[in-house]
């Protein structure tokens, strides 16, 4: 199903300081639902990478137009792109990108998962030190104690 999101007409754009889907992507999200799209993009962050790269190329173009051609429109909009560049740097470092949708919905996608573990029957395994745990709660506790730099914040469902 990820092939459906690799169409070159799909992408992201900046609206004020928010990252939003372009019209084609917004339609696709409406068809699939935001939850399904978030799941697909979480499994295939390279799709989001391509979309973010297009905005990055726009930033480079606007920066050149402002610096070398003294284009007042490009210079005026540059602060929005500079804010985007900070989000892009965070994304590249494993942070989360938030894609704002109509109706105050947000799709959050991370290039790298906050916690990585493998499931083996009923045991959970820490990918970092290969210890085995009986539950996800124990793995989360282990990560918080022994690998805090690997996660930012974890909430455990009760």
pLDDT of residue 158: 44
The string of pLDDT tens digits covering residues 76-115 is 989 999 999 999 999 998 889 999 999 889 999 998 765 5
pLDDT of residue 109: 93
Structure tokens at 28: 């696709």
Identify which has the larger pLDDT, 116 or 133: 133
Mean pLDDT calculated for residue range 10-18: 94
Structural domain spans, the chain: 2-110, 117-150
C-alpha–C-alpha distance, residues 20 and 45, integer Å: 16
Mean pLDDT calculated for residue range 117-142: 67
Kindly indicate the confidence band of residue 152, based on its pLDDT and cuts at 50, 70 and 90. low
CA dist list (Å): 140 to 110, 150, 155, 158: 18, 11, 9, 13
Tell me, yes or no, if the pTM score tops 0.75. Answer: no
Mean pLDDT rounded to a whole number for the chain: 84
């Amino acid at each position: 199903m990820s092939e459906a999101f690799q169409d070159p007409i799909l992408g992201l754009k900046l609206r004020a300081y928010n990252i939003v889907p372009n019209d084609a992507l917004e339609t696709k999200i409406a068809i699939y639902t935001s939850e399904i799209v978030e799941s697909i993009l979480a499994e295939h962050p390279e799709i989001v990478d391509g979309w973010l790269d297009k905005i990055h190329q726009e930033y480079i173009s606007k920066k050149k137009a402002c610096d070398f051609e003294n284009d007042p429109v490009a210079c005026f909009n540059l602060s929005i792109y500079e804010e985007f560049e900070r989000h892009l740097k965070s994304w590249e470092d494993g942070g989360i990108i938030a894609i704002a949708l109509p109706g105050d919905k947000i799709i959050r996608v991370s290039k790298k998962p906050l916690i990585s573990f493998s499931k083996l029957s009923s045991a959970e395994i820490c990918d970092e030190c290969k210890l085995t745990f009986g539950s996800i709660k124990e793995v989360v506790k282990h990560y918080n104690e022994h690998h805090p730099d690997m996660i930012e914040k974890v909430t455990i469902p009760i």
